[in-house]
């Protein structure tokens, strides 16, 4: 659906390399080599959502288990064989990777509600704790078989230690004797083939008995294993052989023990590699501020604030701003014709649209707003750049024609076409005619696409054809520089002379060129530039007005919030003062009672006054509670009846039977006329009478 040439043209291979750099394991990097645009399927939809789930988690600095691990592909193959044996380092590597797998499976199995697409990866997987436990029982952190792995190994290693200790004792005693006679060099000892030797001066070799292992290059030193240690060293060597034999037996038993769990570990390892791959894509998405747009089944391409990934990363490193691209294609407007100045961003707009489409159809998140909508295409056909071929003796125009022919032979309703400067490379009038015919053919075939052109006849045709529409890259006439902003709705001027002036082209030549141009064409070009400039100014004014309206709305909401907070504080302060006054009154009464208690002889009277005071206060509080309850009931009643009351409504008072008509409503009071009599009644005391 996408040729290798177009993948290279849009630098899609660079995207893959950037993702590969973020993978931890070898298998995940191999999965990166399978990244390729595909047609829509449940698998690609699932992969996009899995990547998005990890990306959302990472972007929010949430916990996600580490996936750094060793490649155990070879170990899995060996363990599957009967009688297989893995060495200590291989088993330690296998252990660590299995621990990573177990951690990942436990994490995913607990995320059915929050990470449903990732959870599916762990549904048929089991944690292999027994593999971890068994290897840990035998192998230590230094990749050595533990001495307690078997009683025989423990016995052998104990003997080796004792023999080596005895060998050391004999060796150093012998050194002390030889040193007294001056037979040894300064560097007294060495090792050859695991055997400890003495560095003996060659003239004294006959005085030192033992086995000669080597001689120095100068011939002045000879390396002798002393006779006093040869026997015991032979015993140690034999024990080492026994030790290795016992270690191999233990390792073989261990491998046989974990072999039944290899299929489960293999499935877990594939899951780990896949999550490593998905995590690399998610990390790349975080770096790009990429999102998962809404994916539609029918044709709907609404690209909002898109960035070219490589340009975005380049500008990010250099601290420059990247101008976003927004464009919409639908059933009514299927083909966009972009015009505007050279170096104004037309080609990068095409490449952005094409690259993002390829990325999405390859299961990658893309740098667009998440409210964008995308669909999948069966083919993405591209013609961008100078396709001149020296090898095939093709001129630029011939190569363009060949490329257009290839595209026209493949287009259909499920195709996205991206063509840059089509019809160029030959006589402008004839090239423009061919460009018109190609545009008509594309529109007739219901193909979707984006095309760039400088031809005025193509811009005019885009206004007439039912499925095509114009767009242009904006240009700042005041500063004579492109804005790199795509504006939809009208064609743009090529700003040929303005761009020439900007790059320092001689002014007298520009003026002569203007005199040679058809006056009507020059007028049209100037008119397009003026229309574009006016539209830009109107857009800026509208944006400013919308921004000011937004600021007013924010200010209004802030004012209401502050006012409500202030009102709430005032009410709380009022309630606090009332409470303080009440407590002060209680305090005064209490002090008077204490004074009477201390100075009056009749304490029964004081006690009676105290009880009477409490009784009165209790009744008062009860009345207040009843009043609050009544007020609350009244408020609810008013809230319920008020929306239904209006002038002319028929009502009656709760305690009465006479029906009156409302003449006026003021706040929560209602003015009612009962025949010749008028009265004012609170809403809470009214009943609405049905007609």
In a domain, 311, yes or no: yes
Give the whole-angstrom CA distance, residue 114 versus residue 320. 37
* Residues 198-220 pLDDT 10s: 788 877 777 778 888 878 777 77
Q: In the prediction, which pLDDT does 688 show? A: 82
Give the side-chain half-sphere CA count within 13 A for 432: 12
* Residue 369 pLDDT: 95
Q: How confident is the model at residue 390, as a pLDDT?
A: 35
At residue 628, the pLDDT reads: 67
Same domain, 279 and 423: no
How many domains does the chain fold into?
Answer: 5
What does the pLDDT look like over 651-680, one tens digit per residue?
A: 888 777 788 888 888 877 888 887 777 888
Q: Are residues 72 and 88 in the same domain?
A: yes
Residue 391 has pLDDT above 50, yes or no: no
Structure tokens at 526: 């100037």
Confidence of residue 179 (pLDDT cuts 50, 70, 90): confident
Q: Give the pLDDT of residue 433.
A: 82
Task: Dig out the tokens for 449 from the structure.
Answer: 């696409």
- Indicate if 154 and 210 belong to the same structural domain: yes
Give the whole-angstrom CA distance, residue 600 versus residue 602. 6
352 in a domain, yes or no?
yes
In angstroms, the Cα distances linking 265 to 268, 275, 307 are 5, 15, 41
Residue 527 placed within a domain: no
Same domain, 267 and 394: no
Q: Is 251 exposed, middle or buried (0-12, 13-18, 19+ CB in 10 A)?
A: buried
Query: Is 447 found in the same domain as 311?
Result: yes
Same-domain pairing of 117 and 261: yes
Cα gap 419→410, rounded to integer Å: 14
pLDDT value at residue 561 = 78
Return the minimum-mean-pLDDT range out of 205-209, 293-297, 479-483: 479-483
Same domain, 373 and 477: yes
Count other C-beta atoms under 10 Å from residue 533's C-beta. Answer: 16
Lowest mean pLDDT among 55-64, 197-206, 297-306, 599-608: 599-608
pLDDT (0 to 100) of residue 198? 79
C-alpha span between 546 and 380 (Å, rounded): 38
Residues 466, 394, single domain; the answer is yes
- Distance separating alpha carbons of residues 254 and 94, to the nearest angstrom: 12
CA distances from 107 to 61, 100, 252, 648 (A): 16, 11, 32, 68
Same domain, 154 and 143: no
Cα–Cα distance, 554 to 298 (Å, whole number): 39
For residue 145, pLDDT beyond 60 = yes
Q: 130 and 168: one domain?
A: no
The CATH code of the domain that includes 261 is: 1.10.1420.10
In angstroms, rounded to a whole number, what is the distance separating the alpha carbons of residues 472 and 340?
Answer: 5
Same domain, 341 and 477: yes
State the number of CA atoms in the 13 A half-sphere of 439 facing the CB: 33
Cα(175)–Cα(184) distance, integer angstroms = 8
Q: What is the 3-class SS of 481-519, one letter each residue?
A: EEEEEEEECCCCCCCHHHHHHHCCCCHHHHHHHHHHCCH
Q: Average of pLDDT values for 464-484?
A: 76
Tell me if 535 is assigned to some domain. Answer: no
Is 520 part of a structural domain of the chain? no
Question: Of 600, 621, 637, which residue sits at a domain end?
Answer: 637
Q: What is the CATH number of the domain that holds 238?
A: 1.10.1420
Residue 528 lies in a domain: no
Burial label for 562, CB within 10 Å (0-12, 13-18, 19+), is exposed
Q: What is the pLDDT of residues 327-374, one digit of tens each?
A: 999 888 999 998 877 667 888 999 999 999 999 999 999 999 999 999
Q: Provide DSSP, 273-313.
A: HHHHHHHHHHHHHHHHT-B--EE-SSS-EEEEEE--HHHHH
pLDDT tens for each residue of 528-569 = 555 555 666 666 667 677 777 777 877 777 777 777 788 778
- On whether residue 230 sits in a domain, the answer given is yes
Whether 316 and 452 share a structural domain? yes
The verdict on residue 517 lying in a domain is no
DSSP for residue 380: E
Find the domain containing 349 and state its range: 294-495
């Amino acid at each position: 659906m996408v040729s290798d040439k177009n993948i290279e043209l849009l630098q899609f291979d660079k995207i893959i390399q950037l993702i590969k750099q973020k993978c931890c394991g070898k298998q995940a990097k191999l999965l990166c080599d399978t990244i390729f645009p595909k047609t829509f399927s449940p698998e690609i939809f699932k992969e996009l959502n899995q990547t998005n789930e990890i990306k959302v988690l990472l972007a929010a600095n949430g916990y996600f288990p580490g996936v750094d691990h060793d490649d155990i592909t070879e170990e899995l193959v060996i363990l599957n064989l009967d009688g297989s044996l893995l060495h200590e380092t291989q088993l330690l590597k296998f252990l660590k990777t299995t621990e990573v797998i177990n951690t990942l499976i436990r994490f995913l199995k607990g995320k059915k509600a929050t990470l449903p697409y990732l959870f599916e990866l762990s549904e048929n997987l089991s944690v292999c704790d027994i593999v971890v436990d068994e290897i840990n029982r035998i192998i230590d952190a230094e990749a050595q078989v533990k001495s307690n792995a078997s009683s025989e190994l423990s016995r052998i290693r104990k003997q080796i230690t004792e023999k080596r200790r005895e060998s050391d004792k004999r060796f150093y005693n012998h050194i002390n004797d030889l040193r007294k006679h001056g037979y040894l060099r300064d560097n007294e000892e060495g090792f050859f083939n695991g055997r400890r030797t003495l560095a003996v001066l060659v003239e004294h070799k006959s005085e030192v008995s033992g086995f000669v292992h080597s001689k120095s290059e100068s011939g002045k030193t000879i390396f002798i294993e002393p006779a006093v240690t040869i026997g015991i060293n032979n015993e140690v060597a034999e024990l080492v052989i026994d030790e290795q034999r016992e270690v191999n037996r233990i390792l073989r038993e261990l491998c046989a023990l974990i072999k039944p769990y290899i299929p489960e570990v293999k499935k877990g390892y594939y899951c780990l590699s896949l999550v490593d791959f998905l995590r690399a894509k998610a990390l790349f998405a975080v770096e790009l501020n990429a999102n998962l747009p809404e994916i539609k089944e029918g044709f709907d391409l609404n690209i909002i604030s898109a960035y070219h990934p490589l340009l975005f990363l380049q500008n990010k490193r250099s601290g420059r701003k990247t101008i976003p691209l927004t464009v919409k294609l639908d059933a009514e407007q299927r083909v966009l014709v972009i015009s505007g100045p050279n170096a104004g961003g037309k080609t990068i707009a095409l490449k952005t649209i094409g690259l993002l489409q390829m990325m999405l159809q390859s299961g990658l998140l893309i740098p667009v707003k998440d409210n964008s909508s995308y669909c999948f295409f069966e083919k993405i056909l591209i013609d961008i750049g100078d396709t001149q071929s020296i090898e095939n003796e093709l001129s630029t125009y011939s190569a363009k024609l060949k490329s257009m022919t290839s595209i026209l032979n493949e287009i259909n309703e499920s195709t996205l076409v991206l063509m840059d400067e089509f019809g160029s490379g030959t006589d402008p009038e004839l090239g423009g005619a061919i460009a018109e015919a190609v545009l008509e053919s594309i529109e007739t075939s219901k193909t979707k696409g984006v095309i760039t052109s400088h031809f005025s006849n193509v811009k005019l045709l885009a206004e007439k054809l039912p499925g095509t529409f114009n767009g242009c890259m904006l240009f700042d006439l005041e500063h004579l520089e492109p804005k790199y902003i795509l504006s939809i709705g009208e064609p743009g001027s090529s700003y040929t002379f303005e761009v020439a002036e900007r790059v320092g082209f001689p002014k007298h030549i520009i003026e002569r060129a203007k005199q040679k141009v058809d006056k009507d064409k020059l007028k049209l070009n100037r008119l397009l530039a003026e229309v574009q400039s006016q539209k830009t100014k109107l857009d800026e004014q509208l944006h400013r007005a919308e921004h000011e309206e937004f600021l007013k709305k924010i200010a209004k909401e802030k004012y209401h919030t502050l006012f409500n907070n202030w009102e709430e504080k005032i009410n709380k302060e009022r309630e606090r003062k009332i409470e303080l006054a009440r407590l002060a009154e209680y305090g005064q009464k209490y002090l008077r009672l204490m004074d009477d208690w201390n100075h009056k002889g009749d304490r029964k009277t004081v006690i009676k006054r105290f009880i009477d005071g409490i009784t009165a206060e209790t009744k008062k509080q009860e009345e207040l509670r009843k009043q609050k309850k009544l007020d609350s009931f009244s408020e609810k009643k008013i809230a319920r009846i008020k929306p239904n009351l209006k002038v002319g409504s028929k009502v009656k008072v709760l305690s009465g039977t006479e029906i009156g008509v409302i003449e006026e409503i003021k706040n929560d009071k209602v003015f009612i006329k009962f025949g010749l009599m008028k009265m004012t009644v609170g809403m809470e005391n009214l009943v609405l009478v049905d007609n």
